[in-house]
Structure formats: C-alpha cells, structure tokens
Chains A and B, each alone.
Chain A
Amino acid sequence: MIVAVMVAIYVLLDGFDIGSGAVHLIIARNDTERRTILRAIGPVWDGNEVWLLAAGGTLYFAFPLLYASSFSGFYLPLIIVLWLLMLRGIGIEFRSHLHDGLWTSFFDVIFSIASILLAIFFGAALGNVVRGVPLNADGYFFEPLWTNFHVGTENGILDWYTVIMGVVALVTLVVHGSLYLATKTEGELNTRARRVAFGLWPVQVLLTIVSLSATLLVRPGILTNFSKWPIGYVIPLVVVGSLVYLLVAQRQKNDKGAFLASCGYIAGMLVGAAFALYPNVLPASTDPSFSLTIYNTAAGAHGLSVGFVWWTLGMILAFTYFVFIYRMFRGKVRVEEGASGHGY
C-alpha cells in the first residue's frame, strides 16, 4: 500500500517536473516580435518557476536521501541553473522596462542564451540520471562539470551521452516552445513559429532514435522492465503516436493539436525513462548495489502518508489556480492590444 502511494507520488512528481520544465522553457527561440512573445509568457513564467520550487520541496519531503545526494552531487550544474534562472528573469524584467534599442537587444540575447543553456542543462541532468552517477557506499557522489567525455565510472556532468541528451532536450523544447507560441500568436509570427516547429520535425525524429540507441548502448539492461511488465510498451507507442500526430496536426494547421502532441511526446519520453529505471531513482555507475531506489531513499511511513494527504490537496488547489490564470490570459496576444497595460 505504502509502496503504491510512493509510486504514485513519484510518477506525479515526475509529471509536474515536466510541467515546470516544459512550459517554462518554451521560449528558447525568439528573435522577432519579442514583445508579443514576452506578452505570451509574461503572466505565467514566474508562476511556472513556482512549480520548480514545489517540485524541489516535494522531492525533499518524500525522498530526503535522494534530495541530499543528487543536489550535493550535481552541485555545480544546479547552482549554474539557479544563476541562469536569475539571469533569465533579469533579462525579461529589464527588457520590458527599458525602451532603448541597444539595451533591449542586449537583454534579448541574455534571455535567449540563458534559456538555451537551461534546456541543455536539464537534458544533460536527465542524461546523468539515466546513465548513472559515481555513488559511493554512503549514497553520495560529486561530479565535476566534465572529465574525459567518456561514459565510464569517472563521470563528469557532460560526456558524449549527456551532451546528446542535452541536444535532444534543446530541440524538443524549441519545438514545444514554438508550438506554444503558434497557439498564442497570429500572422507573420504565427507562420514563423510553425515553420520552425515543422522544419525541426525530422530532426526530432532522428534525435529520438539516436538518443534511444545511445541509451541502449550506455545501459544495456534498460529494457528489462519492459519485458517484466509488458504494459510498459504503451509508452513507446505514445511517443511514436505523438510524433506522428505532431506532423499530421501541423499539416492541418492545428496549432493546439500540435502543442498537445508535443506534450504527449515529452511526457512519454520522461515516463519511459522513469519506467525503465524503476525502482532506481539514481543508479550508480560504480557498483549497482549503491544505486538509490525509491525504497532506500523514501521518508518514513507516517511522513509520507501525511504528506500525501496535504500534497494532493495542495495540487488540486494549484491546478485550480492554474486553470483559472491560463483561462484569464487565454487567446491570442497582440502587441498593440492594451498598450497601457503592463509594459511587455
């Protein structure tokens, strides 16, 4: 029973990790009509960062050891991610309050670079989790940013495998962001956003295949769970189905459908990774017995059951707020509209 609850928490946890990661990185590509783009994300971007905070908190109370181990082990990339988040915020805020061409473009660049790096770092982080990290017997590790770029036991954050995953994440989120913008804009900007997403489709398919084969090479045992619980084969079906529908919807100029397909693709990839790793949450590249699993990292039973109650409550509330906010700011945004409003 408790295990079931824990699995549920874990899946949900990962579920809104996606929410935070995907939605708040939607802006990786944008160089024209930036004001419109900022208006599209303006009301929601800091709200989306709140998801990141809530996700961290949930991880903390449900799996304290995992939190302790992974956060200290990924010390450097995490702190850099924090800085990038700040830089991005600074970029957005200054950008919307300065009306000088030179500085506006400067902060556009800051904003874009920070966003791109964030996507790559998040992808690389996922790559690290799948590949495994050099855990010691106490369940701790520390990774430098890079070592020799080989996938061995002397791991760095960046090696050839995690770099591939970083690129996958970047392309995926660029497509995702463009599709989001396509749903929020019209005219020239809409056409351009569609073109980017459309043009990247073959790249995305190719990268999906490359990343899956690379994963098989790095962790040959990754398919065990799929043969153990054949229901898991639904996940790759979802991924393939989403990719196909992504193309179909774009052909039909159905922006919403395409965006949903992209959501399905991201969710499928992440759930697939989680499913394949289960019950590991942080596999060891050193000795498989050092791996962190949901069993050896979970908090005490009382804490988890109490937490589950208020957490569910909190999530219901949060979803209500979110639906509310997104509904209020639904529809297409135009630059001219409400020029007296907030300065985006």
Chain B
Amino acid sequence: MESALLIHRLQFAFTVTYHYLFPQLTMGLAPLIVILKTVAIRKNDETYNQAARFWAKIFGINFAIGVVTGIPMEFQFGTNWSHFSRFAGGVIGQTLAMEGCFAFFLESTFLGLFLYGEKRLSKTMHWFAAFMVFVGSWASGYFIVATDAWMQNPVGYEKAADGSLQLASFWALVLNPWAWLQYAHNMSGAVITGAFVMAAVGALYLLSNQHVEQARIFVRLGVIAGLIVSLLQLFPTGDWAGKMVAQKQPVTLAAMEALFDTQHGAPLVIIGQPNMATRHIDNPIQVPKMLSFLTYRRWNATVKGLDEVPETDWPQNIPLLYYAYHIMVGLGTLFIAVMAVAAFLLWRKKLYQTHWVLWLLMLMFPLPYVANTAGWMTAEMGRQPWLVYGLMRTEEGFSRMVSAGNGWFTFLGFAGMYTLLSILFLFLVRREIEHGPEPVNAPEAPKSGRLNPVGVR
C-alpha cells in the first residue's frame, strides 16, 4: 500500500508539474498579445500586428501541448484518485467540468479564429478574438485554481448519508476567498513567465542583430509588464497569500518557515537549513521579528510553530517545502531587481545597447518557470498530510484497486511520452524563433511586394 500511494503521488506530481509548464506561458502571453493588438489598432502600425502574430504562434504550440497534457490530469482524478473522486467529486466535479464546458471551448474556438481567421475577420473582430482567447485562458485558470482552493479550504459542501461530500452552495464554491487570493498570485506569476519569455526572445534578436524593430517591441513590453507583475507578485498578491495561509493553515506556514516552536516576535529566516533531527535551523541568517510583522503587522505578535500540533499532522516533507518556498521568494526578489534595472535603462534609452543586461534577460527566462513550479510545490506540499484540508488524508484518496506495478508502468510510460512531447515542443518553438516575426504569412502582403506601405489597407 505504501509504495502504491507513493507511485500515485509521484505520477500526479510529475504529470501536473510538466503540464503547468505550458499553461503558465499561454496565460501569461494572452494579455500581452491583447496589448500588442490594441497598440496595432491604436497606432495603425503593422509591426505590432506582426509581433502579435508571432506570439500567437508560440501561444498555439503551447496551447496544444497544454491540452494534450491536460487531459491526463482530469483522467487521473478518476484513474489514480478514485476514492478521492468518490468522496469529493460531487463538489469539485463542478469546477472541473465548468472549465471544460466554458473556458476550454471559448479558448480553443477563439484561438482557432485568431490563428487562421485573420483574412476573414475585420480588424476589430480579430482583436476581439485575441481578447476572448485571453478571457478563455484566464477563466480556465480560475476554475482550476478554484478546484485546488477547495482542497486547501473546503467550503460550500455538506456530508451525504454515504459519507461523500455534496455541493451545498454553488456560490460559496465559486467565490471561495482562498480561490481569489490564490488566483491573483498565480496569474501574476504566469504573466511574469510570459513577460520574461517575451523579453528573452527580444534580447536574443537584439544580441544577434535580427528583426531589430520587433525585438525592441518584445523587450520593451516584456520589461514594462515584467516589472509591474513582479512587484504585484510580492505585494499585494504574495502578502495576501501569506496571510491566508497563516489564518487557515497555520501549520503550513510554520512548516514553510521551518518555525519549530511558537514564538512571540518570530524572526524571518532568509537562508538556513532546517534540521529535522534537532528541530532547529542550521546556519540561519534571519531578520528579527520580521515574520510576526509580515504576518500580523505587529512586531511582537505570536506566530504558531509546528509544536502546536502532533507530528502526524505535519506536512511530511518539511525541508523540501521550506526550500521550495524560499526558492520561490528568492527568485521573486531577483525578478524585481533585474526588471527594475532593465526598466531604468529603458527609461534612460540605454537598454538596447547595454549588452550585459540583454544577456541577463535572455538567460533568465527559465527562472520564472522554476519559481512558479516552486510556488505550486509550496501550496500542494504545504497542504499535506491532507488531500482535502481537514477532511481527507492523502493516503485515503488513491485508487486501491490499481497496484503499484501498474502505477509504475504508466508513470514510466508518461515519462517516455512526455520526453517525445518535449522534443516536439522544442523543435516547433525553435523553428518559430528561427523563422522570426517576419511577415511571410501576412494576409495583407500580396505575392509580389513584401509589405504594404505603412500597413494601410
């Protein structure tokens, strides 16, 4: 049983982590593409349309892989976590199905229109298609976050006679306060990824001296948007998320901070290694009383430590949780710093010539992926040992009829399949980046001449 539980957890963790590499970029790029389209119409500038078209192609590739890796996520609730589904499906089935029925249709339909329909749509309608792709992808995100938020902070349910949970209040489920705060934090995280990726491609083009006009748009938009959302990520959204955890899951907060003992005026550990044997932090560098202040806005407030609850109710892997959380916070700080420097240079009109910053922007794009992944690890491992917080433990939720051997078989199969997907993805994206945002497929461009003069119809 032990090993079956482990493999079910591993498989879900692996497939969901891999899956989320793609939606975070699509959700992050969607608003940026809308901005590009808006500027294109406002300024009547074809360059921005080309930029939008280029990013729509990248979006399309990510969306397709997001879909094929998303279907297994939904299936695994039934295949690997059937006892959980039986227990909670009457509630979370709602938000999951709504994602499929509303958001997903919206997104895929309008993406089809946006990618293939530029010739047949008016400018305003094409802008509208881009806007609806944005709405669809963000709605999709909300329904999924609401599902997770219910597992973190179950609301709006009642217990039925057979012990399963049933929906009691639809609006309580959809308007779960946890969902809104987590959503805000998650979405600004996604836009960080989108902004960094856009700036990185722009920096690559600038450094290699190709598509310079487009590259400047990418870098400019990426840096401005990146600075704004990096700041939002810390405050207020990160602050909200932290307070929420302190209020609803104090044990989780204690584990994230590796706060073993309840303290008045608890310090904030910047760096240090939690030692589970001695229940101390080794080699800490800390800011006195800061944790109390950040959590409760009072320097001497009491922050509950892990000693408040029995060890069986602690998250199982406290060091990993602690490191995931600290990596997320550390990277978030780094993003603000880099984007602030880049934005300053942009303002001074020196950014496009400052090669070391361009190199930095180009090389940093993987880090938002790491930070977003670490953030989700914090949320999900922090919820342990609960599958539905306070209601169902993780070891009660998996499919007992599916043996560990079958689990290993499918886990390895997924690993292989996702390797193929990665190769496909890199191949396709590399082609698009190599190809660049040149107007080869531009619908306005007649076969003889490459460009309309100043993009006038």
Residues of chain A at the chain B interface (Cβ within 8 Å): 43, 46-47, 49-50, 52-58, 60-62, 64-65, 67-76, 78-79, 82-83, 85-87, 89-90, 93-94, 97, 139-142, 299-300, 302-303, 306-307, 310-311, 314-315, 317-318, 321-322, 324-325, 328, 340-342
Contacts and interface: CB of A to CB of B under 8 A. Distances in A.
A58 B97 contact: yes
Most buried by B among A49, A90, A303: A303
Q: What's the dominant secondary structure at chain B's contact region?
A: helix
B67 A75 contact: no
Given A58-B97, A60-B96, A340-B441, A299 B167 contact: yes
B90 A58 contact: no
B356 interface: no
Interface of B: 64, 67-68, 70-72, 74-75, 77-80, 82-83, 85-86, 88-91, 93-94, 96-102, 104-106, 108-109, 112-113, 115-117, 120, 158, 160, 164, 166-168, 170, 399-403, 406, 409-410, 413, 417, 420-421, 424, 427-428, 431, 440-441
A102 B100 CA distance: 38
Nearest to A53: B100
B215 to A, nearest CB: 24
A75 to B, nearest CB: 5
B333 to A, nearest CB: 38
19 contacts: A46-B108, A47-B109, A50-B100, A53-B100, A56-B78, A56-B100, A57-B97, A68-B82, A76-B409, A78-B79, A85-B71, A90-B424, A94-B427, A299-B89, A300-B167, A303-B91, A310-B98, A317-B105, A322-B109
B400 A58 contact: no
Contacts of B112: 43, 47, 325
A297 to B, nearest CB: 9
A57 B167 contact: no
Nearest to A55: B100
Q: What's the dominant secondary structure at chain A's contact region?
A: helix
A72 to B, nearest CB: 4
A324 B402 CA distance: 42
Nearest to A52: B71
A243 B104 CA distance: 35
Contact of A314 (B68, B102, B113, B402): B102
A141 B401 contact: yes
A79 B109 contact: no
A55 B91 CA distance: 17
B115 A342 contact: yes
Given A61-B89, A79-B79, A50 B424 contact: no
B166 A71 contact: no
Contacts of A94: 424, 427
B27 to A, nearest CB: 17
Contacts of A314: 98, 101-102, 105
Contact of B85 (A46, A50, A67): A67
Most buried by A among B71, B72, B409: B71
A223 to B, nearest CB: 31
A278 B202 CA distance: 60
A51 B102 CA distance: 11
